[in-house]
Amino acid sequence: MKETKAWRISGFLGIVIIVICLALAAASFFSTNAILGIVLIIIAALLGSGITIVQPNQASVIMFFGHYMGSIRESGLFLTLPLSSKRTVTLRVRNFNSQMLKVNDIEGNPIEIAAVVVFKVIDSAKATFDVDNYSEFVEIQSETAIRHIASKYPYDTFENVQTTLRGNAPEVSDELQRELQDRLNVAGVDVIETRLTHLAYSTEVAQAMLQRQQASAIISARKKIVEGAVGMAQEAIEQLEKDNVVELDDERKINMINNLMVAIVSDKGTQPVINTGSLY
């Protein structure tokens, strides 16, 4: 099913025609021509059944005895096919806020996730005839797509080697929009935007996952500190040798590196120990 334009003329012109028919019918009755008057009244009634009003950003779907005859998208007063039924479909931009869903991410961790979907109908025929109720269809498919996307990625990681729900929210939202658009094409709906509105670990594992995050953060920070300390110690020894300040054998280099590493890596302030003798 695809949207087409329905036959219509100006509703004001239709009202004028109806008024003329009624006037002629009245004149026929006065001239004792009752049959012509009855025919004109029937014609006026048939034309009156085709009068329809279309509001801005709405579409009127015209059906004639079970057959789709087209849609009227322009706002105003129109005269269309007599004895036809009309169904109004809104073309306005709408929001759908999903409920907070509990889903397992790709690592099996239970999380809570919710999203907002901004959409509008672009094909009134598909929205009317290809799905039972396009609003409910959008809601169900949105929640299905949210669950699917949430199960494809981990909630978070400190390795920075893959897409995560928390760290790559814009990319996840874009993928959700593309998947949801594929699902809603059958309903003639255009997905304008999707955004995650809630993302957190489930309450039953939130404390444990927080401790895990803290441990991972500490390990990552320690790794950076050690890498920096090694670089600083190496630069210090190279600078001393380059400026010929002192000549260091391997044992003294090891001792110096050890002291620098302890001083840089230690959580607490270190106390210097002055050696007045010799290492040997």
Q: How far apart are the first and last CA of the chain?
A: 94
Mean pLDDT of 230-250: 70
Main-chain phi, psi angles of 110, to 5 degrees? -75, 130
pTM, to two decimals: 0.70
What CA dihedral angle connects 101, 102, 103 and 104, to 10 degrees? 160
In tens, the pLDDT along 58-114 reads 999 999 998 999 999 999 999 999 999 999 999 999 999 999 999 988 888 888 999
Tell me: pLDDT of 206 over 70: no
Rounded distance between C-alpha atoms, residue 183 and residue 146, angstroms: 12
Domain ranges of the chain: 9-89, 94-201, 206-265
Write the CA distances from 178 to 68, 95, 143, 193, 222, integer angstroms: 30, 17, 14, 10, 40
Rounded average pLDDT over 212-223: 69
Mean pLDDT within 10-20: 93
Q: Which of 265, 256, 208, 205 is nearest to 234 (CA)?
A: 256
φ/ψ bin of 153: left (φ > 0), alpha (ψ from -120 to 50), beta (otherwise): beta
At residue 234, the pLDDT reads 75
pLDDT over 90 at 227, yes or no: no
Among the residue ranges 84-98, 115-129, 191-205, the one predicted with the least confidence is 191-205
* Helix (H) and strand (E) counts in the chain: 7, 10
Report yes or no: 191 and 105 within 8 Å, Cβ to Cβ.
no
**Structure confidence at residue 95 (pLDDT):** 94
Across the range 271-278, mean pLDDT stands at: 53
Which CATH topology does 94-201 take? Tetrahydropterin Synthase; Chain A (3.30.479)
Task: With a cut of 90, say whether residue 33 has pLDDT above it.
Answer: no
Helix residue ranges per DSSP H, 33-120: 34-49
pLDDT score of 231 more than 80 = no
135-179 per-position pLDDT tens digit: 999 999 999 999 999 999 988 876 665 788 888 889 999 999 999
Least confident of 27-41, 80-94, 109-123, 266-280: 266-280
Tell me the residue length of the chain.
Answer: 280
Q: Look at phi and psi of residue 110 and say left if phi exceeds 0, alpha if psi is from -120 to 50, else beta.
A: beta
